[in-house]
Amino acid sequence: MITALIILALLALGFGLLLGYAALRFKVEGDPLVEQIDALLPQTQCGQCGYPGCRPYAEAIANGDEINKCPPGGEATIKNLADLMGVEAKPLHGGSTEPEVKKVAFIREDECIGCTKCIQACPVDAIVGATRQMHTVITSECTGCDLCVEPCPVDCIDMVPIKTGITNWRWDLNPIAIKQVD
Amino acid sequence: MSMESLFNRLKAGRLFSFPGGVKPPERKALSNQTAIAALPLPDKLFVSLKQHIGVEGKVQVKEGDKVLKGQVLTASPNPFAVPVHAPTSGTVTRIGLHAAAHPSGLPEQTIEITPDGLGQWTTLSPIPNYAQLPKMKIIEAICNAGISGMGGAGFPTHLKISSKKDVEFLIINGVECEPYITADDRLMREHAWQIRQGIDILVHLLNPGAVLIAIEENKPEAIDAMRVACKDQSRYLVCPIPTRYPAGGEKQLIQNLLDREVPRKGLPIDVGVIMQNVGTCYAIADAIFSGKPLIERVVTLTGESLQAPGNYWVPLGTPVYHLLNQAKYVSSLQQKKRIIMGGPMMGFTLHTDLAPVVKTSNCVLVPSDQAMPLPPDEQSCIRCAACADACPASLLPQQLYWHAKANELERAQDFNLFDCIECGACAYVCPSDIPLVHYYRRAKADIRIQEQEKQKSDKARQRFEARNARLEREAEERKAKHAEAAERRRQAMQQPADNPQDKIAAALARVQAKKQAAQPDAVPEANEDKVAAAIARAKAKREAQQAQTGEPAKASALADDPKKAQVASAIARAKAKREAQQAQTTETVESASPAASDDAEAAKKARVAAAVARAKAKRDAEKADDAPESDAQPAENAQIDDADAAKKARVAAAVAKAKAKRDAEKADDAPESDAQPAENAQIDDVDAAKKARVAAALAKAKAKRDAEKAASTTETNHQPDDITQVDDAEAAKRARVKAAVARAKAKKAQQQDDPS
C-alpha cells in the first residue's frame, strides 16, 4: 500500500518536473491564436472594425470581441473566423451582405496639389509623391481601404473598381454575350 | 521498367493503358479529305500580344509603322514571354483592346495590322548548320521565333527544352484525339519530312534515349508517312495508339506508352519524358532551317455549317469571320451563330467572330444544330457514377461537382480538383447534362483568386508593419532630438552672461563675411557710396532678370504656361463642384433650420466669389494664351508676369478650396446645431426662438468675419511675395522673413478661427 503510494507520488513528481521543464524549454512567444486570426483577416488596414489595423482587431477577437466587424473580408472571412474560433457565424455587423466590389484608389494627377495628406493616411505606403509634387497610387499595393479619400483637400482621389481582365476572370456558368463596340 | 525493355515492348506493339476515357463520334472525315490549302489574306489582322501561357511582351512598334512579314512586334526579358511577329507585311493601324480568343470574350491588347498584300519578308537568319552551334544559341533561336506549344496549352517551347534533367523518352504527340480536328493529321501526311527535321533538332538539344511518335490508329495515312520519314533512325519509333478520348492528353499518353504517372505538381520531365506536339516540331524546323518565325499555323475549319470544310494555312491574327467567309458558312443551319474554338470536348464557344486565330487555335468548329444540339438544361445529379468511370485521371467527378457547387473549395481540393485535366469526358457521359467541367473551372479560378488575395494580404501586412515600425522609429528620433536640443539650451543658459553678446557679434561677423563673399565687386563701392551701390544693385537685378528670361528660361516658361493654366482651371472646376455640393446641402436643411436664409445668402456669396475666382483664372489662362503671340520684348515680361500670376492664382485657389472645404464642414455642422434650438423653439415660446435665431446669426456673422480676415491675411501674404521677386537678394531675405512672420500670423488666426 505504502509502496504504491510512494511510487505514484514519485511518478507524479517526475512527470511534474518533465512538464515544467517542457513548459520552459518549448515556451511559445506571443499568442499563436492572434497570429492565426491575423492570417485570416484581409489586411486592408482600413479600420472599419473600429481598431487601428487588422492586427489590433485580431487581438480584440482573441480577447472575445465579435467576429463580424470586417466589411472588406465579408462572409468568407466571417466563416473562416467562426471555424477557427469555434463559434457560430454571424451576419456582418450593421452592414449589407452583398459582396463588395474590390476597389483601388486612383489620384487624378492633374488636380493633385501635392499636399502629402493622403501619403500620411495610407496604412500600407502605397502612395508615392513629395511636397508640391504630384502623387500617385501604386495600384498593386493598394488595399482599397478608402482612408486616403477623406483627407484630400481637393477631392482628387477616386475609388475605382478593379477591372475584370482575362487573368482575374472567373468562369461564368451563364456567360453574357459581349459585343465589340468600335 | 528499364528504358530498354520499355522500348522493346513498344517496338513489339504492346502498350499499357489509362483509366476511363470515352469514344465520341469522330467526324474527322469532314475535313481530312483535302490537302492543306492557303487562304487569301483578310483585310485586317489582329495579333494578340499574349498567345500562350506566360506573360506578354512589350510592344516594339507604334501606330502607323510599316512592318515586314516576320518582323518582331513584342519583346521581353522575362523567360515566360515569347515574342509575336507580323504575319504579313503592312501597316500597324491600331494598338489597343480587341476581342480575344478566350472563353471570357473580354478584350485584350492587340496589334491591328492592315496588310499591303505584298507579303514582303523581313531579313531572315536561318541556321542550317545548327549542329555546330552551342545549344543555347539554338534554344534562343527557337524562343525568338515565338514558338510555344501548338497542341493546346501553349507552354513556351524554349522553357520545355532547356531542361537540365536527363531525358529518357522524347514523345512526339500526334494523337489528336478530339473529334472533328484533323490539323495534325494533315500536317503529318503532307509534311512528315519537315516534322522529322524538327525532331532531329530536338534530339540534338535533348539527347533522349528514344523518340516515340504517338499517333492514334484512326490516322493510318499519317502513321505510314511518319514511318517512311523516320525509317532510317532505329531509335525513332512510331507508336499507333488505340482510339479513345483523351488518349492525346499529356499525362494519359505517358501512362498509355510507359505506364508512368506524372506527379501531381510535377512535369513530365520528372518521369524522364518531354512531350512536343507535331505542329511544334514543324515550327521548330521552320525556325532553324529557314529562319521563319511562327506566323501561321494549320487550322481545321470544320463543322456541318461550313460548305468548304478542310485544313488551311491561317496567318496568326486572322479574324474568325474571315475564316467563316472563306469556308462558306451557311447561317441557316444554326439558330444562333455558334462558333467553337478548339474541339467539341475541350474547346470554348466564342462570343464574337471578331476574335483572331492565335498560336494555340487548332480548330474552328461551326457545327449545325442538328449534328451538335445545344446543351439541354442541367438536371440534378443522380449519383450514377458514370462520370467516375469515364474520368481518365481517376477522380470522383460527382464529389468534385458537389463541393464546387457548394463553394466548399477546400473540400474540392481534398478531392484533388487540380488533377482534373478538364477533358470533358465526365460531362460527355453525364445523363443529367450537368456542365461538370464548367463547375471545376470556376472552382479552380476561385481558388487561384483566393491565393492571389492571400499573397496580396500578406504583402499588405508586411508593408503595414514596416510602416508602423518606421513611424515609431521616427517618433523616437524626434523625441531624442528634442531632448538633445533642450539639453543644449540648458547648457547655454548655464554659460556666463557675456557669452550671448559674443555670439551675436560672431553671427553678425559671419553674415558680413558671407555678404562679402557673395558680392565681391559690389561691396567696396557700397562702402564708399550708397548711390553707387543702389545703381549696382539695379544693374545686378536687371542682369539677373535677363539671365532668368534667357533662352532656356523662355522655353520653359512657354512650356509651363498652358500647364499652369490647366491646373488653375482644374482647381476652379473642383471648387465649383464643391460649392454646388455646398449649395445642395444648404437647400436640404432649409426647412429645418431657422438660419437657412443666412446659409443661402452665404452660399450665394460663396458662389459669387467662386465665379469671380473662375473669371480671374480664365483671364489668367487667356493672358497666358495671348502672351506668346505678342512682341518678343513685352512677351518676356508677360511670361514672367503670367508665370507669377498663375502661381499666385494657383496658391489662392488652393487656399480658397481648403477654406471652402472647411466652411462646408462648418456649414454641415451648423444646421445640426441650429436644428437643436429650432426644435426647442417649437416647444418653447416665441421669444426663445428669436433669441436662438439671433445667436445663430451672430455666430455666423462672426465666422464670416473671421474667414474674411483669414482671406485678407493670405492676400497680404502675396504682396510681400511679389516684392521678393523684383527685389535684390538682400531685400529678398528681408521679405522672406516678413512673409514667414505673416504666414505664422495667418496660421495663428486660422487656429483661432477653428475653435469658433
Cα angle for residues B153, B156, B158 (degrees, 5° grid): 145
Give the residue, B537 or B516, on which the prediction is more confident: B516
Look at A171 and B442 and tell me if their CB atoms are within 8 Å.
yes
Task: Give yes or no for A170 touching B (CB within 8 A).
Answer: yes
Question: Is the model's pLDDT at B739 over the cut of 70?
Answer: no
Contact call for A111 and B106, based on CB within 8 A: no
Check CB contact under 8 Å for B574 and A125.
Answer: no
Question: Mean pLDDT score of chain B, rounded to an integer?
Answer: 80
Minimal CA separation from B6 to chain A, in Å: 41
Looking at this predicted complex, what is its ipTM?
0.79
Contact residues, chain B, for A165 at CB < 8 Å = 106, 108
A156 is in an annotated binding site: no
Cα separation of B195 and B193, whole Å? 5
Kindly tell me if the per-residue pLDDT of B570 is higher than 80. Answer: no
| Side chain identity, residue B339 | I
- Judge whether B174 and B182 are in contact, CB under 8 Å: no
Is residue B624 domain-resident?
Answer: yes
pLDDT in tens, B304-341: 999 999 999 999 999 999 999 999 999 888 888 899 99
What pLDDT sits at residue A1? Answer: 87
Task: Find the helix or strand (DSSP H, E) in which B371 lies.
Answer: none
Amino acid identity, residue B267? L
Residues of A with Cβ-Cβ distance to B456 under 8 angstroms: 43, 143
| CB-facing half-sphere around the CA of A2: CA atoms within 13 A | 0
Q: Do B243 and B336 belong to one domain? A: no
Total domains in chain B come to 4
Cell numbers for B30: 469532314
Tell me which range, A107-116, B189-198, B443-452, is most confidently predicted by mean pLDDT: B189-198
SS3 state of residue A68:
coil
| Residue contact B435–A173, C-beta within 8 A | yes
Q: Which residues of B touch A172 (CB under 8 A)?
A: 104, 442
Q: For residues B516 and B493, give the distance between their C-alpha atoms in angstroms, rounded to a whole number.
A: 32
**DSSP per-residue codes, B171-191:** EEEE---STT--HHHHHHHH-
Specify whether B585 is located in the same domain as B521: no
Is B213 a member of any domain? yes
Chosen from B354, B461, B655, B750 to mutate, greatest number of chain A CBs within 10 A: B461
Residues B530, B536: Cα–Cα separation, whole Å: 10
Question: How many beta-carbon pairs below 8 A join chains A and B?
Answer: 105
Domain presence at residue B434: no
Q: What is the mean pLDDT of residues B355-378?
A: 91
User: What is the CATH number assigned to the segment(s) A32-85?
Assistant: 1.10.15.40
Looking at per-residue pLDDT, the higher value among B268 and B151 belongs to B268
From the CB of residue B736, how many other CB atoms can be counted at a distance below 10 Å? 13
User: Do B145 and B243 reside in the same domain of the chain?
Assistant: yes
Pick the CATH number of A103-161 from 3.40.50.20, 1.10.10.10, 3.30.70.20, 1.20.1250.20: 3.30.70.20
CA distances from B452 to B244, B455, B617 (A): 37, 5, 47
Tell me how close the Cα of B644 comes to any Cα of chain A, in angstroms.
16
Whether B728 maps to a domain, the answer reads yes
Q: What angle do CA B66, B48, B326 make, to 5 degrees?
A: 85
* Pair (B63, B205) in one structural domain: no
In a domain, B708, yes or no: yes
- For position B677, what pLDDT does the model report? 42
Q: Which one-letter amino acid corresponds to residue B102?
A: H
Does A175 contact chain B (CB < 8 Å)?
yes
* Partners of residue A153 in chain B, C-beta under 8 Å: 654, 657-658, 661
B99 to chain A nearest CA, in Å? 7
Phi-psi region of B146 (alpha: psi -120 to 50; beta: other; left: phi over 0): left
Helix segments in B207-287, DSSP class H:
220-229, 250-258, 278-285
Contact B108 A175 (CB under 8 A): no
| pLDDT tens-digit readout, B17-63 | 999 999 999 999 999 999 999 999 999 999 999 887 778 889 999 99
| Domain at B255, CATH number | 3.40.50.11540
> Do B45 and B95 share a domain, yes or no?
yes
Residues B572 and B672 in one domain: yes
**Residue B461 to residue A43, Cβ atoms within 8 A:** yes
3-class SS at A158? strand
CB contact (8 A) between residue B566 and residue A110: yes
Domain end among B231, B256, B291: B291
Q: What one-character DSSP code corresponds to residue B148?
A: B
Cell triple for residue B577?
Answer: 463642384
Rounded Cα–Cα distance for residues B709 and B622 (Å): 30
Contacts of B262 (CB under 8 A, 6+ apart): B250, B251, B254, B268, B270, B271
Residue B475 lies in a domain: no
Q: Is the peptide bond before B671 cis (omega within 30 degrees of 0)?
A: no
Same domain, B238 and B175: yes
B302/B157 same-domain check: no
Question: In this model, does residue B651 exceed pLDDT 70?
Answer: no
Nearest by CB to residue B351, choosing from A53, A169, A178, is A178
Query: Of the ranges A129-138, B100-109, B200-209, which one carries the lowest mean pLDDT score?
Result: B100-109
**What is the pLDDT at residue B574?**
64
Task: Name residues 43-102 of chain A within 8 A of B (Cβ).
Answer: 43-45, 53-55
Mark whether B581 and B721 lie in a shared domain: yes
Per-residue pLDDT band at B220 (split at 50, 70, 90): very high
CA atoms within 13 A on the CB side of B286: 19
In this predicted structure, what is the pLDDT of residue B34? 93
From A36's Cα to the closest Cα of chain B, the distance in A is 13
Q: CB of B415 within 8 A of CB of B400?
A: yes
B596 and B738 together in one domain: yes
What SS3 state is found at A66?
A: coil
Instruction: Indicate if B560 and B517 belong to the same structural domain.
Output: no
Q: What is the pLDDT of residues B684-695, one digit of tens each?
A: 444 554 554 555
- Shared-domain flag, residues B350 and B213: no
A119 is written with which cell numbers? 501619403
Closest alpha carbon to B402 in B386, B382, B422: B382
The answer, for A143 touching chain B at a CB cutoff of 8 Å, is yes
Q: Which residue in the block uniquely carries the three cell numbers 474674411?
A: B708
Q: Is the Cβ of A156 closer than 8 Å to some Cβ of chain B?
A: yes
pLDDT over 80 (residue B635) = no
A70 appears as a binding residue in the annotation:
yes
**Among B441, B453, B464, whose Cβ lies nearest the Cβ of A124?**
B464
Nearest-CA residue of chain B relative to A115?
B654
Distance between B109 CA and the closest CA of chain A, angstroms: 11
pLDDT at B724: 39
- Residue B246 neighbours by CB distance under 10 Å: 25
pLDDT given for residue B484 in this prediction = 95
Q: Which residues on A lie below 8 Å from B460 (Cβ)?
A: 43-45, 124, 141, 143
B435 contacts in A (CB within 8 Å)?
A: 173
Each residue of B661-678: pLDDT tens digit?
666 666 555 444 444 444
Which residue in B442, B574, B661 is closest to A170 by CB distance? B442
Beta carbons within 8 Å of A79's beta carbon, 6+ residues apart: A89
**Does residue B38 sit in helix, strand or coil?**
strand
Ordered by start, the domain boundaries in chain A are 32-85, 103-161
Please list every residue in chain A whose beta carbon sits closer than 8 Å to the beta carbon of residue B577: 155
Boundary of a domain, candidates B476, B510, B544: B544
Residue B656 is assigned to a structural domain of this protein? yes
End residue of a domain, out of B325, B341, B365: B365
Per the CB < 8 Å rule, is A123 touching B449? Answer: no
* Predicted pLDDT of residue A75: 82
Q: Is residue A122 marked as binding?
A: yes
Computed on alpha carbons and rounded to an integer, the radius of gyration of chain B in Å comes to: 40
The reply to whether B330 falls in a domain is yes
CA distances from B721 to B270, B641, B645, B741 (A): 74, 13, 11, 12
Specify which residues A105 forms β-bridges with: A159
Bridging pattern class, strands B169-174 and B210-216: parallel
pLDDT of residue B672: 45
Whether chain B has a CB inside 8 Å of the CB on A153: the answer is yes
Residue B638 sits in which domain range? 549-753
Are the beta carbons of B295 and B316 closer than 8 angstroms?
A: yes
Q: Could you report the per-residue pLDDT of B383-435, keeping only the tens digit for each?
A: 999 999 999 999 999 999 999 999 889 899 999 999 999 999 999 999 999 99
Chain A residues within an 8 Å CB radius of B658: 153
C-beta separation of B141 from B127 below 8 A: yes
Please, are residues B393 and B421 in contact by the beta-carbon 8 Å criterion?
Answer: yes
DSSP B306: B
